[in-house]
Amino acid sequence: MTPPQELPPTRGPLVYRQSIWTRLTHWTWAICLFFLLLSGLQIFNAHPNLYVGQQSGFEFNNSILRIGAINTPEGPRGQTTVFGQTFDTTGVLGMSGSAERPQFVGFPGAVTIPSTRDLATGRVVHFFFGWIFVGALFIWFLASFINGHMRRDIIPKGADLAGLPRDALDHARFRLHHGRTYTPLQKLSYFAVFFILFPLIILTGLTMSPGMDAAWPWLLDVFGGRQTARTIHFVVMVLLVLFFIVHIIMVLLAGPLNELRSMITGWYRTSPGTLAAKGDKP
Amino acid sequence: MSRLIIDRRRFLTGSAALGSTMALAGCSQFDFLAQRDNPIRNAIEQANVLTYQAQRALIGDQVLAREYAASEIRQGMKPNGSTEPTTAEYMFLRGMNFEPYRLTIKGMVDKEVSFSLAELRNMPARSQITRHDCVEGWSCIAKWTGTALGPVLDQAGVKPGARYCVYHCYDNIQRSISGDILYYESSDLVDAYHPQTILSYGLNDAVLPVSNGAPIRLRIERALGYKQPKYLHTIELVDDLSPFGQGKGGYWPDNGYDWYGGI
């Protein structure tokens, strides 16, 4: 008699992966970043130029990005100048809208709140969601420090760095492991977001406040001037948009229902072969 | 291999869903926030009150805005907003080289006082090289010379109940069917008595030009450019801002901008 052959399990245990704090702050940030991005582009449109230094060069040139429109013999065109290189960006930057009713704005109304030029409202929306964003980050740091999420899933350790090449290769081959904790690449990504990008975008935002510059003059020194801070604020925005795009692609590749479930209920279906532990569900 | 194909299919379906969501963002469904009387807008505007209270609690009343070295003055001060007022009163004063000009302090004061430009110039002077931050996003460094507002207010004697200074200006920032809309601004007494808050009559070692607010422009250095009223003629001490303009404490606040202006 041969013992009945045990089939390898087709799926791993259901693990409780995301605490209520992680889930609440995640969705709070999702909403905040949406409004912050679109109102931020509205604010940027009031002066679609970025500079390096304390001030904006009107009689000298310290501009690194300039979006505008020019008149040509064939009619107006949208133009974007980055580091002295000028590109025709008609239809997207500098000039957008329909051919009959072109809009001469930096970013098109389709990606700003409100959709028309309205700096005052853009600022009202931006600062409201800015406060919520910072509040959620404060709560997350506190909760993640106490419940171990930060130490377990966010801060990369030696083993994570050693496992990085293999993890990168797995990701490149779309071999995604659904483990109990995050993979090295995940840890590094979230570490960069929480410890670099989020603090940077908050501090550069504060550097743009003349009141905060009086309170914390070191902000001006750390970032090399108010206008440099404004430029860094913009660059970090671009990096966060890139993070968002990769984040969504990874959710779709890794199984959007399972990923969404874990960020709504906290329960996450792991890959076959994941060792069961106390508290898991089958 | 089959797993990869499923993943691709899922990926494409997901991308389509995501794409349509992103396209939704391109609509104008949040434009209602631009309506001044919208209750949701009024609610989220309270974040500006929180900012004001947080900054007042965090920043000492006497803490100075950064002052820069002379080498940082790399350009003229960019004129913005009104650059050439056309009200009859201002045109007259300008034609007289501001000889008859008087700055009046009135309202909740012990005695109303007024000063000529010569009298203001004879008061203790202060020069400061500071960064002017426009709400649009740009900054410009310039040297401002004038006399501190605090001692001038003390000459009038501010009454204990006074909470705000309202700054009345000559410039017609906007013309409407019902006539000119004159610029005005206001601040609390912390900003009014701040050591860098000066009645400036000099810019970059020259007489303050018309385009930058001659004869007197108030500098509130820890706030944005719209809190630096140009063409100033009267300072009124009050305990309530609602009777002025549309009741929000300034021309730009009446147009939806934050009153405090420190951010």
Q: Report the gap between the CA of A114 and the closest CA in chain B (Å).
A: 5
Q: What is the ipTM of this complex?
A: 0.91
In the numeric block, which tokens belong to residue A212? Answer: 């905060």
Contact B139, B80 (CB under 8 A): no
The residue extents of the domains of chain A are 14-48+112-269, 49-106
In the numeric block, which tokens belong to residue A230? Answer: 């404004």
List the Cα angle A270/A271/A276 in 5-degree steps: 60
Examine the pLDDT at B19 and tell me if it is beyond 60. no
pLDDT band for position A100 (cuts 50, 70, 90)? confident
Q: Tell me whether residues B65 and A210 touch, CB distance under 8 A.
A: yes
pLDDT score at B15: 55
List, as one string, the DSSP characters of chain B: -HHHHHHHHHHHHHHHHHHHHHHHHTS-TTGGGG-TT-HHHHHHTHHHHHHHHHHHHHS-TTPPPP---GGG--SPPPP-S-SS---HHHHHHHHTTTTT-EEEEEESBSS-EEEEHHHHHHSPPEEEEEEEE-TTS-EEEEEEEEEEHHHHHHHH-B-TT--EEEEEEEEEEEEETTEEEEEEEEEEHHHHT-TT-EEEEEETTEEPPGGGTSS-EEE-TTS-GGGS-SSEEEEEEES--TTSTTSSSSHHHHTT--SS---
pLDDT band for position B9 (cuts 50, 70, 90)? low
Q: Is any Cβ of chain B less than 8 angstroms from the Cβ of A115? A: yes
Q: Tell me whether residues A124 and B30 touch, CB distance under 8 A.
A: no
Averaged over A203-229, what is the pLDDT? 98
Averaged over A60-82, what is the pLDDT? 95
In the numeric block, which tokens belong to residue B60? Answer: 């000492």
pLDDT digits (tens, 9 = 90+) for B119-140: 999 999 999 999 999 999 999 9
Tell me which residue in B10, B41, B60 faces A256 most closely, judged by beta carbons: B10
Q: For residue A7, what is the enclosing H or E element?
A: none
Examine the pLDDT at B59 and tell me if it is beyond 90. yes
β-pair partners for B142:
B130
Phi-psi region of B240 (alpha: psi -120 to 50; beta: other; left: phi over 0): beta
The answer to whether the bond into A114 is cis (omega within 30° of 0) is yes
**CATH superfamily, region B67-254:** Oxidoreductase, molybdopterin-binding domain (3.90.420.10)
Q: Tell me whether residues A123 and B257 touch, CB distance under 8 A.
A: yes
Examine the pLDDT at B50 and tell me if it is beyond 70. yes
Sign of the alpha-carbon torsion through B243, B245, B251, B257: positive
pLDDT score at B26: 53
In the numeric block, which tokens belong to residue B186? Answer: 């206001």
Q: Report the gap between the CA of B107 and the closest CA in chain A (Å).
A: 28
CA B59/CA A250 separation, integer angstroms? 43
Tell me which residue in B30, B65, B137 faces A214 most closely, judged by beta carbons: B65
Phi-psi region of A174 (alpha: psi -120 to 50; beta: other; left: phi over 0): left
* B251 Cβ neighbours under 8 A, 6+ residues apart: B173, B174, B181, B182, B183, B184, B185, B226, B245
- CATH fold, domain A14-48+112-269, is Fumarate Reductase Cytochrome B subunit (1.20.950)
Q: Report the gap between the CA of A148 and the closest CA in chain B (Å).
A: 31
Examine the pLDDT at B23 and tell me if it is beyond 90. no
